[in-house]
Amino acid sequence: MTGRGCRDGQGNAERKHMIDQEKIRKAVKLLLEGIGEDPDREGLLETPDRVARMYGEILAGMDTDVSQPLSRVFAVDSSEMVLEKDIAFYSMCEHHLMPFYGKAHIAYVPDGKVLGLSKLARTVEVYARRPQLQEQLTVQAVMEYLKPRGVMVLLEAEHMCMTMRGVKKPGSRTVTTAVRGIFETDPLLQERFFHMLGD
């Protein structure tokens, strides 16, 4: 196993990083000591193990290759926008390792091929299960693997690192958009995206 791959361009940085449960257990024990807890008291004895297993699940995207959901494509003649909206996701922000969760809406304009149904949702799921920034989720991967004429992604999420600490505004959502390809140069297409979202 090599070290962490380069994070930019997500798609071409595909890699397998098996989660090391033993390291997580040690780290959680240290963390407990660091905050002044006694990791050997009864209530905490199983905690490092529990957290390690939990991370194995919620960060399973580290061990999953995103090219899987994105490789199943079908030929089409149409170049009409395809929109998949309200894809619920749970992720972890890479700045604080705190959850952020919300909905993703992804549109693309095909260039001869479309993805199988639910594959965008599956792609969001893989990326969400890696520590990262909301802005980066999926857009680059869709561009690289599907090679459509354009992609637009809108994400709305509540960040626990904002609502539990700092400004403490429960329920406030961070909305980000990312556009690539034809969406960047065609404001009408962006308008249609927002219109279709509203329907």
Element (H, E) at 189: helix 187-198
CB of 193 to Zn ion, least distance (A): 27
Q: CB neighbours of 50 closer than 8 A, spacing ≥ 6?
A: none
Of the listed 84, 105, 125, 134, which one is catalytic?
A: 134
Of the listed 33, 46, 80, 95, which one is catalytic?
A: 95
85 or 96: CB nearest Zn ion: 96
To the query of whether residue 6 is one of the catalytic residues in this protein, the response is no
To the query of whether residue 195 is one of the catalytic residues in this protein, the response is no
Instruction: Give CA–CA dist 195/188, Å, rounded.
Output: 10
Instruction: With H, G, I as helix, E, B as strand and everything else as coil, classify residue 159.
Output: strand
96 or 149: CB nearest Zn ion: 96
70 or 93: CB nearest Zn ion: 93
Q: Residues 39, 48: contact at Cβ < 8 Å?
A: yes
CB of 71 to Zn ion, least distance (A): 32
Of the listed 33, 46, 80, 94, which one is catalytic?
A: 94
Of the listed 14, 37, 96, 158, which one is catalytic?
A: 96
Instruction: Give CA–CA dist 80/125, Å, rounded.
Output: 25
CB of 161 to Zn ion, least distance (A): 3
To the query of whether residue 17 is one of the catalytic residues in this protein, the response is no
CB of 132 to Zn ion, least distance (A): 10
27 or 161: CB nearest Zn ion: 161
Q: Residues 128, 62: contact at Cβ < 8 Å?
A: no
Q: CB neighbours of 40 closer than 8 A, spacing ≥ 6?
A: none
Q: Which residues bind Zn ion (CB under 5 A)?
A: 93, 95-96, 161
CA atoms within 13 A on the CB side of 139: 21
Neighbours of 46 (CB within 10 A): 10
71 or 172: CB nearest Zn ion: 172
To the query of whether residue 159 is one of the catalytic residues in this protein, the response is yes
CB of 137 to Zn ion, least distance (A): 14
To the query of whether residue 161 is one of the catalytic residues in this protein, the response is yes
Torsions phi, psi for 177 (to 5 deg): -125, 150
Please give the structure tokens belonging to residue 36.
Answer: 């002044």
Residues with a known catalytic role = 93-96, 134, 159, 161
